[in-house]
Structure 1
Amino acid sequence: MSRTAMNPAKAALTKTLRREAGRWLKSAREAAGLTQAELAEMTGLRYYTFVSQVENGLGRVPIETQAIWAQSLGLDPSQFARTLLRYYEPELHRLLFEGVSDEAADDVDVDDGMAERAAQG
């Protein structure tokens, strides 16, 4: 029996957080002016349907590809990974970052990435 099967409340929370992460990623993609197919191509995915699945909360961005996703979206990879960690592993995020003085680092603003791309020309 899996852990989530033993704890329905945790399974429901995980599902909710994955959907929230998906909404955040979709917002970031749209702010970057990319289609799902374009993001899939930029991140080396064979099919855009994986992007769709992640945006719908049915999957998650693998750790080993988070940097390329962030770069493709024009976001800082460290901030991107930290934000995803808050959705994917909230307890680990709390343990690592609770009480950290850089509160602004907890939230990656999609508009920040747009401003950074605009400044780069």
Structure 2
Amino acid sequence: MPRPATDPAKAAQIKLLRQQAGRWLKAEREQAGLTQAELAEQVGLRYYTFVSQVESGLGRLPIETQGAWAEALGLEPGEFAKTLLRYYEPELFRLLFGGEQAKSQAAG
């Protein structure tokens, strides 16, 4: 069965949220005093360009790597994953955390 066409407004929102996630990750990396290459090495990536892609919003962190990224950045893994969930899966975030979304977005 073919997949339904993506709603252009939804696609634009996804792109915007990924870009926001990327800016947040970049700020956290810079605050940790790491270059993209250093972060890539610490999380076991072969190429630092993946870090660049994620920071520019072209990619997203797989769930199975989020703990390593949190550790490399000196962040608590649960809060790190929760922040990424807000960007990557906003509807799931809303279902799980309800009213926290507005508070988190105001802080982010």
Task: Output the TM-score relative to the length of structure 2.
Answer: 0.89
Alignment-derived partner of residue 90 in structure 2: 90
Percentage of matched positions with identical amino acids? 69
| Equivalent runs, 1:12-51 vs 2, <5 Å | 12-51=12-51
| Equivalent runs, 1:69-108 vs 2, <5 Å | 69-99=69-99, 106=104
Gaps of 5+ in 1: 110-121
Report deviation, 1:61. Answer: 0.7
- Partner of 1:45, secondary structure, is coil
Report deviation, 1:2. Answer: 4.3
- Partner of 2:22, secondary structure, is helix
Gaps of 5+ in 2: none
How many corresponding residue pairs?
103
Amino acid at match of 2:12: A
Output the CA distance in 1 between the equivalents of 2:25 and 2:70.
10
User: What is the aligned-residue RMSD (CA, Å)?
Assistant: 1.6
Q: Which runs of 4+ in 1 moved over 2 A?
A: none
Output the CA distance in 2 between the equivalents of 1:13 and 1:2.
19
Output the CA distance in 2 between the equivalents of 1:44 and 1:6.
33
Output the CA distance in 2 between the equivalents of 1:10 and 1:26.
24
Output the CA distance in 2 between the equivalents of 1:38 and 1:65.
16
Output the CA distance in 1 between the equivalents of 2:69 and 2:22.
13
Output the CA distance in 2 between the equivalents of 1:62 and 1:20.
17
Report deviation, 1:19. Answer: 0.3
Task: Output the TM-score relative to the length of structure 1.
Answer: 0.80
